[in-house]
Amino acid sequence: MKKTVAIDGPAGAGKSTIAKLVAEKLGYIYIDTGAMYRAVAWKVLDTGAGTTDEAIIRTAEKLHVSLRFVGDNVRVFADDTDVTEKIRTPEVTALVSQVAQLGPVREKMVELQRGMAKDGGVVMDGRDIASNVLPNADVKIFLTASIEERALRRWKEMKAKGYEEPIENLAAEIEARDKADSERAISPLVRVPEATLLDTTGMTIDEVVAKVMELCG
Ligand code: CDP
């Protein structure tokens, strides 16, 4: 039977890297829910209609976010624009938690996410997957790592994309986003009691993938 796998955790814990590799091994679809909130944030900036909550909600109402396969790769679309790379800029990262705390935005994204998972065979990562989007998921994992390690991973990822940010700034950005995500009123980042806690500090990608595969049993 095809399972549903929910992976939650704070920023920079390696969720997307691990979820993508696990999905490949299982022959499942990888659903990056953070990318969907990022696509909304990108559209808000691109539209230039301002970043008040009202303006964000209006933009989100009109926008169609989708994940589409292009060859073997899942790409993120805001209407018909491929925003897969555009949603990883520091500007989008700075806005995304404000976008993601708005009820109407979340309702729209969660409906899409549940639709994509309805037949199983998915690995979905985010903040509220086990607690809200897929409370009946077969496998629930809470992936984390120390703040130092998460900042270092983000620094390497950004450097590979040509951004040279001091590591202290990245650590501060991650901590601020974790705080916003954990303290928001609607579907905050939380570890549900039944989720397996996986602290990946000091672990290699292969080691984490092997552990998650074991949990998917
Ligand atoms: O990759 P990174 O850890 O930086 O974050 P992400 O997974 O791309 O998610 C970006 C942001 O979207 C998070 O900081 C949350 O504010 C929001 N998010 C959310 O609220 N709920 C989700 N299920 C996924 C992401």
Q: Is residue 107 part of a domain?
A: yes
Is 117 touching ligand 1 by the criterion CB < 6 Å? Answer: no
Average pLDDT for runs of 10 along the chain of length 217: 96 95 96 98 96 98 95 92 96 96 98 97 98 98 97 93 92 96 97 98 97 97
Which of 65, 116, 175, 177 to mutate to test ligand 1, by most ligand atoms within 8 A of the CB atom?
Answer: 177
The reply to whether 199 falls in a domain is yes
pLDDT tens per residue, range 34-93: 999 999 999 999 999 899 999 999 999 999 999 998 887 899 999 999 999 999 999 999
pTM of the model: 0.96
Q: Residue 192 is part of which domain span?
A: 4-212
pLDDT of residue 5: 98
Q: How far is the CA of 33 from the centre of ligand 1 (A)?
A: 7
Q: Kindly state whether residue 217 falls inside one of the protein's structural domains.
A: no
* Residue 60, domain member (yes or no): yes
For residue 129, what pLDDT is reported? 98
Judge if the beta carbon of residue 150 lies within 6 A of ligand 1.
no
Report the CATH number that the domain containing residue 144 is assigned in CATH: 3.40.50.300
In this structure, which residue's CA is closest to atom 8 in ligand 1?
A: 34
- Nearest ligand 1 atom to alpha carbon 133: 23
Domains in the chain, number: 1
pLDDT at residue 69 in the model: 86
pLDDT of residue 211: 98
| Residue at 185 is within a domain | yes
Q: What is residue 180's predicted lDDT score, i.e. its pLDDT?
A: 95
In the prediction, which pLDDT does 73 show?
85
Q: Is the CB of 100 under 6 A from ligand 1?
A: yes
Does 61 fall in a domain? Answer: yes
pLDDT at 70: 86
What string of H, E and C letters represents the secondary structure of the chain? CCCEEEEECCCCCCHHHHHHHHHHHHCCEEEEHHHHHHHHHHHHHHHCCCCCHHHHHHHHHHCCEEEEEECCEEEEEECCEECCCHHHCHHHHHHHHHHHCCHHHHHHHHHHHHHHHCCCCEEEEECCHHHHHCCCCCEEEEEECCHHHHHHHHHHHHHHCCCCCCHHHHHHHHHHHHHHHHHCCCCCCCCCCCCEEEECCCCCHHHHHHHHHHHHC
